[in-house]
Amino acid sequence: MSSSVEAITVLSSDGDEFKITVSAAKLSKPLNWMLEDVCFSDDCDEVPTIEVNSKTLVKVIEYCEKHAPRANSGASDSDAEELKKWDIEFMKMDVKDILFHILMAANYLHMEGLYDLACQTAADLMKGMTVSQIRKIFHIKNDFSSEEQEQLRRQHPGCSFD
């Protein structure tokens, strides 16, 4: 096909259709490969499926579209500053419903920027929290007995867990 393709259509794991612009798809290697497949194969009817659910894919595409202009051309400092603020707003999301999925999606789609951003967000949620608070935020089940717990805490003298 020609280079006139401006957007590709992909399917989410739930079967919904999404459009991603070419420049945005360039942020992810697997998406880029798909793009090449779509552009260069004769059989264009096939719509590639991405193993990410719809809710997450919306967010991922939103991130890509926002970051694509800067990644493709490079931008000034003020733009970078604004983008940072946008990232912070963008990452205000439910931990279990979305954040874990975003982490997985960024990992699966090899999107370095989003991957780092999501990991940083998860890490920030953890900073300065007690163990029980962290368990609550990340929905982690405690499967230690209290003796085991005590023993583990003793292995880290000087560290406060509560």
Residue 115 binds to other proteins (criterion: CB under 8 A): yes
- d(CA 100, CA 106) in angstroms, rounded, equals 10
Residue closer to other proteins, measured from CB, 74 or 128: 128
Residue closer to other proteins, measured from CB, 9 or 149: 149
Residue closer to other proteins, measured from CB, 66 or 153: 153
- Applying CB under 8 A, among 42, 128, 146, 147 the residue interacting with other proteins is 128
Residue closer to other proteins, measured from CB, 48 or 138: 138
Query: x/- site string to other proteins, residues 63 to 102, per CB under 8 A?
Result: ---------------------------------x---xx-
- d(CA 69, CA 56) in angstroms, rounded, equals 21
Tell me the chain's radius of gyration from C-alpha atoms: 20
Query: x/- site string to other proteins, residues 24 to 63, per CB under 8 A?
Result: ----------------------------------------
Residue 138 binds to other proteins (criterion: CB under 8 A): yes
The sign of the dihedral angle between the CA atoms of 142, 144, 146, 148 is: negative
Give the torsion through C-alpha atoms of 43, 46, 47, 52, to 10 deg. Answer: -120
Please check whether residue 51 is in contact with residue 89, taking contact to mean a CB–CB distance below 8 angstroms: no
Please check whether residue 127 is in contact with residue 97, taking contact to mean a CB–CB distance below 8 angstroms: no
In sequence order, what E strands does 12-120 have?
17-21
Q: 53 in helix, strand or coil?
A: coil
Q: Taking Cα atoms as reference points, which of 94, 87, 80 lies closest to residue 111?
A: 87
Residue closer to other proteins, measured from CB, 7 or 138: 138
- Applying CB under 8 A, among 129, 136, 146, 147 the residue interacting with other proteins is 129
Binding site for other proteins (CB under 8 A): 96, 100-101, 103-104, 107, 115-116, 119-120, 122-124, 126-129, 131, 134-135, 138-144, 149, 152-153, 155-161
